């Protein structure tokens, strides 16, 4: 339904769009990229369709698909959320190209906040698999390491979502509130998984 809504919107707005559409904004909120009206209208529906197909295929081909099945409700809600996120970005892009003027990164901040927070919820309940979660050589090699890393990772992702909300209050700093915490936490969880793996293997020895 989300894909169809974006496709119908593209068909309706395409004849009314400028020949060159703003399609990319820098961290300062200034437009620094353009594309043709055709791709500006139809690229996002295509991306949404491709992502949807990928998300449908993943649970069927993962070697540990039985574990993905156990977290099916969490994964299903994530699919809906990421589709809504892409639709929201698409709506903002169209709004701008029809004359709306606003801080794009400020409006992105709450959407990223919701997305990061829910990723934290999903990560916290993720079972060991090769497609979804914090997949490092160490989490995939040891189920205890997987559980410990995802328990901490879930909390950190949820915290990054809360921090991203501050980007709405301080637009000039929004890019930092959105990107810095999530990148730092991702690096930290990778290092944490390695440390936990070393500890678990030391116990076995």
Q: What is the mean pLDDT of the chain?
A: 92
Q: What is the 3-state secondary structure (H, E, C) of the chain?
A: CHHHHHHHHHHHHHHHCCCEEEEEECCCCCEEEEEEHHHHHHHHHHHHHHHHHHHHHHHHHCCCHHHHHHCHHHHHHHHHHHHHHHHHHHHHHHHHHCCCCCCHHHHHHHHHHHHHHHHHHHHHCCCCCCCCCCCCHHHHHCHHHHHHHHHHHHHHHHHHHHHHCHHHHCHHHHHHHHHHHHHHHHHHHHHHHHHHHHHHHHHHC
More confident residue, 65 or 205: 65
pLDDT for the residue numbered 122: 95
- Confidence at residue 144, expressed as pLDDT on a 0 to 100 scale: 94
pLDDT of residue 31: 86
Mean pLDDT over residues 32-48, rounded?
92
pLDDT reading at 51 higher than 70: yes
pLDDT band at 205; cut points 50, 70, 90: low
The pLDDT tens digits for 171-199 are 888 889 999 999 999 999 999 999 999 99
């Amino acid at each position: 339904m989300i894909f169809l809504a974006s496709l119908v919107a593209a068909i309706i707005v395409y004849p009314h769009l400028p020949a060159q559409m703003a399609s990319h904004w820098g961290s300062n909120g200034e437009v620094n990229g353009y594309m043709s009206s055709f791709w500006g209208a139809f690229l996002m529906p295509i991306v949404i369709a491709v992502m949807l197909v990928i998300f449908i295929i993943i649970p069927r081909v993962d070697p540990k698909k039985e574990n993905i099945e156990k977290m099916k409700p969490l994964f299903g809600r994530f699919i809906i959320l990421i589709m809504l996120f892409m639709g929201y970005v698409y709506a903002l892009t169209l709004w701008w190209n029809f004359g709306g003027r606003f801080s794009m990164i400020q409006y992105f901040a709450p959407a990223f906040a919701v997305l990061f927070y829910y990723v934290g919820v999903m990560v916290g309940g993720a079972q060991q698999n090769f497609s979804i979660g914090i997949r490092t050589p160490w989490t995939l090699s040891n189920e205890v390491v997987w559980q410990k890393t995802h328990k901490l990772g879930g909390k950190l992702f949820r915290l990054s979502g809360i921090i991203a909300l501050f980007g709405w209050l301080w637009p000039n700093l929004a890019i930092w509130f959105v990107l810095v915490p999530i990148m730092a936490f991702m690096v930290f969880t990778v290092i944490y998984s390695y440390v936990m793996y070393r500890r678990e293997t030391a116990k076995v020895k």
